C-alpha cells in the first residue's frame, strides 16, 4: 500500500511563493509517474504537473512558467514549487501516482492565495 503525505500549503499573498512536498512511503523510482492535482470545492480535480521516472516534466497551461515539479530520490519526496501565485490557484493540492492501474492520492494540502 503506497502512502503519500503532502505538506507545505498555507496562506500567501498574490504574487508570493510556496513549495509543496509529497513524501512517499517507498522508492519514488518505483513509480512511472508522480504528479500534482488540485481541486476547488464544487469542481472536478484538475491536473497541474507531472514528472516521469526519467525526469521528463509536463505542466498544465495554468502552471507553465510559474510552477516547477522536482524530486529528491534520497528522501522519496516530490516537490511543487509555485511562484507568482494568483487567487485562482487557491485549492487543495493533491499528490498522485498510479501503479498497476491503481491510483494513489495523498490527503491534500490547502493553498490559499489572498488578493
- Categorize the per-residue pLDDT at 1 as very low, low, confident or very high, splitting at 50, 70 and 90: confident
> What's the pLDDT score for residue 78?
98
- Assign 3-class secondary structure to the chain: CCCEEEECCEEEECCCCEEEEEEECCCHHHCCEEEEEEECCCCCCEEEEEEECCCCEEECCCCCCCEEEEEEHHHCEEEEEECCCCHHHCEEEEEEEEECCEEEECCCEEEEEEC
Averaged over 27-54, what is the pLDDT?
A: 96
pLDDT attached to residue 100: 87
Read off the pLDDT of each residue in 27-41 and give the average, rounded to a whole number: 95
Amino acid at each position: 500500500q503506497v502512502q503519500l503525505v503532502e505538506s507545505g500549503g498555507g496562506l500567501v499573498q498574490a504574487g508570493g511563493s510556496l513549495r509543496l512536498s509529497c513524501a512517499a512511503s517507498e522508492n519514488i523510482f518505483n513509480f512511472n509517474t508522480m504528479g500534482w492535482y488540485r481541486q476547488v470545492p464544487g469542481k472536478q480535480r484538475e491536473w497541474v504537473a507531472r514528472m516521469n521516472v526519467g525526469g521528463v516534466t509536463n505542466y498544465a497551461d495554468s502552471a507553465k512558467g510559474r510552477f516547477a515539479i522536482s524530486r529528491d530520490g534520497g528522501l522519496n519526496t516530490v516537490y511543487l514549487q509555485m511562484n507568482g501565485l494568483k487567487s485562482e490557484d487557491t485549492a487543495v493540492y493533491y499528490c498522485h501516482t498510479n501503479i498497476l492501474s491503481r491510483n494513489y492520492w495523498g490527503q491534500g494540502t490547502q493553498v490559499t492565495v489572498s488578493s
